[in-house]
Chain A
């Protein structure tokens, strides 16, 4: 069944654009838009881990408008493993747009519990830095990256501001805490997520927050899970300021609440004039895991200071150089140098 889904999505992502690319522009509105994202990373670290050249994730993303109000969004990824590639259905969303203020959908989403998770996720070319913040890293357990269920969302605009919301109900976390419950809810307790964002004016400011409720399944039983998150984003043009804070609470049958929290603050600035292809950036991160929390029993504390430079050497490709000083748990500081080429390939005409 899973292979059949992958095959259908692959056909959607590759066969449809080929059919369209061959056509001349006509009065018919093109109904497919797609992109490929990919990256290659060179890693040098003073820790005993895999380094050298790494093929990152290759991601195919496509939107097909099935009718004026019905749209299918699909996303497939291929991730390099030591012995093979792991292929994954990252997102499949069938959405019906009633109006700007009300759209209904079902499928597999990027959980709107974190700004970075929905804004960049697998689109590494879109994000300034080499990798995501630790609190929402690929395969991370701190927050659920994917959400399987149904979602209501919408945008209300006035001349003064834009207000956007998402409200969803779904399966919550899977047996592996970092994964969504793709094959059904493990504990018959549905997860719910509510998120809202406000964008006043047109000067690039966004403020947002979200809450997420679920029961996290563990070998010791189910734990009530509550996540609260807030973000501040300011992107007036060449500057980029992103800050986000999240707290995850777990409560077991002993009625004791155990909280872990994490945050990051990221700043970047595209240089002016002849240096406009260069964007230096810095980021500070911290994750404090509650050692008494059985759900996060093996989740380590994390500290990091990151500095980097992004060079957009082509319209759809960037070279990023990044230095990181990280500390995992009570271990020593680890210095690392990362070089990444990230790119996007448009499958749509004229973009």
Chain B
């Protein structure tokens, strides 16, 4: 077998595996909010400011309650790397500093499972959190990011 054929086979395998990864619903993170939240779409910049606690109120004046999954989970890894661009240590220091400086009244509400995240987003007005796409279910509202739903191949959170 020639080197060029081997290279083509390897390239094909890589493309197939990466396509499978991109469509894997457990690797895609959906941003979910309380069903009464009036917002349907957020820009990625707005999402970052909400998750970093720089924006604490929705446009209608209701307070945002941020829910973050406890370590260790795939969706937390995606959120820390894509939205926060921080390591676990940097994330912890960031929120301790925010609270110490009285910039926020509270850090994120920590949730310990996808079920708990979904349940709390459903019952807390103004709540925002994230779930693996295959764990979204009913009772929550999925937010578009830059006008893209999680099913969009260009969706940023995977």
The answer, yes or no, to whether A30 is at the interface (CB within 8 Å) is yes
List 9 A-B pairs, minimum CB-CB distance, nearest first. Answer: A350-B110, A71-B105, A159-B45, A73-B102, A27-B123, A65-B105, A123-B100, A68-B63, A157-B49
Q: How many A-B residue pairs have C-beta atoms within 8 angstroms? Tell me.
A: 94
Chain A 121-141 interface 0/1 with B at a Cβ cutoff of 8 Å (1 = within) = 101001000000000000000
The answer, yes or no, to whether A177 is at the interface (CB within 8 Å) is no
Q: Which residues of B contact A69 (CB under 8 A)?
A: 63
Q: Is the Cβ of B70 less than 8 Å from the Cβ of A350?
A: yes
The answer, yes or no, to whether B99 is at the interface (CB within 8 Å) is yes
In the complex the two chains form, what is the Cα distance from A95 to B104 in whole Å? 11
List 10 contacting pairs A-B, 8 Å CB cutoff, sorted by A.
Answer: A25-B116, A31-B106, A97-B57, A126-B93, A155-B54, A155-B55, A157-B46, A312-B89, A348-B107, A351-B96
In the complex the two chains form, what is the Cα distance from A68 to B92 in whole Å? 23
Known: A27-B120, A68-B63, A157-B46. 20 other contacts (CB 8 A): A27-B124, A29-B124, A31-B106, A65-B105, A73-B105, A91-B102, A95-B105, A99-B61, A100-B55, A100-B57, A119-B101, A123-B96, A159-B45, A202-B48, A237-B86, A312-B89, A315-B89, A348-B107, A349-B110, A351-B95
The answer, yes or no, to whether A222 is at the interface (CB within 8 Å) is no
Q: In angstroms, how far is the closest chain A Cβ from the Cβ of B142?
A: 21
Q: In angstroms, how far is the closest chain A Cβ from the Cβ of B99?
A: 5
Nearest residue, chain B, Cβ from A107:
B102
The answer, yes or no, to whether B23 is at the interface (CB within 8 Å) is no
Chain B interface residue count, CB cutoff 8 Å, equals 40
Q: Is the Cβ of A97 less than 8 Å from the Cβ of B105?
A: yes
Q: Is the Cβ of B106 less than 8 Å from the Cβ of A35?
A: no
Nearest residue, chain A, Cβ from B93:
A126
The answer, yes or no, to whether A189 is at the interface (CB within 8 Å) is no
Q: Is the Cβ of A126 less than 8 Å from the Cβ of B99?
A: no
Report if A344-B48 is in contact (Cβ < 8 Å); known contacts: A27-B124, A237-B85, A350-B110. Answer: no
Q: Which residues of B contact A349 (CB under 8 A)?
A: 110
State the A residues within 8 Å of B (CB).
25, 27, 29-31, 33, 35, 61, 63, 65, 68-69, 71, 73, 91, 93, 95, 97, 99-100, 118-119, 121, 123, 126, 155, 157, 159-160, 162, 202, 237, 312, 315-316, 344, 346, 348-351
Within 8 Å by CB of B99, from A35, A99, A162, lies: A35
Majority SS at the chain B contact face = mixed
In the complex the two chains form, what is the Cα distance from A30 to B102 in whole Å? 17
Q: Which residues of A contact B21 (CB under 8 A)?
A: none
Q: Is the Cβ of B55 less than 8 Å from the Cβ of A126?
A: no
Chain B CB within 10 A, most for which of A25, A121, A126: A25
Report if A162-B49 is in contact (Cβ < 8 Å); known contacts: A35-B99, A99-B61, A100-B55. Answer: yes
Report if A346-B96 is in contact (Cβ < 8 Å); known contacts: A99-B57, A99-B61. Answer: yes
Q: Which residues of A contact B56 (CB under 8 A)?
A: 97, 100
Q: Which residues of B contact A344 (CB under 8 A)?
A: 96
In the complex the two chains form, what is the Cα distance from A31 to B106 in whole Å? 7
The answer, yes or no, to whether B119 is at the interface (CB within 8 Å) is yes
Q: Which residues of A contact B63 (CB under 8 A)?
A: 68-69, 97
The answer, yes or no, to whether B149 is at the interface (CB within 8 Å) is no
In the complex the two chains form, what is the Cα distance from A202 to B86 in whole Å? 12
In the complex the two chains form, what is the Cα distance from A13 to B8 in whole Å? 64
In the complex the two chains form, what is the Cα distance from A159 to B54 in whole Å? 12
Q: Is the Cβ of A157 less than 8 Å from the Cβ of B123?
A: no
Q: Is the Cβ of A63 less than 8 Å from the Cβ of B97?
A: no
Q: In angstroms, how far is the closest chain A Cβ from the Cβ of B43?
A: 6
Q: Is the Cβ of A33 less than 8 Å from the Cβ of B102?
A: no
Q: In angstroms, how far is the closest chain B Cβ from the Cβ of A46?
A: 34
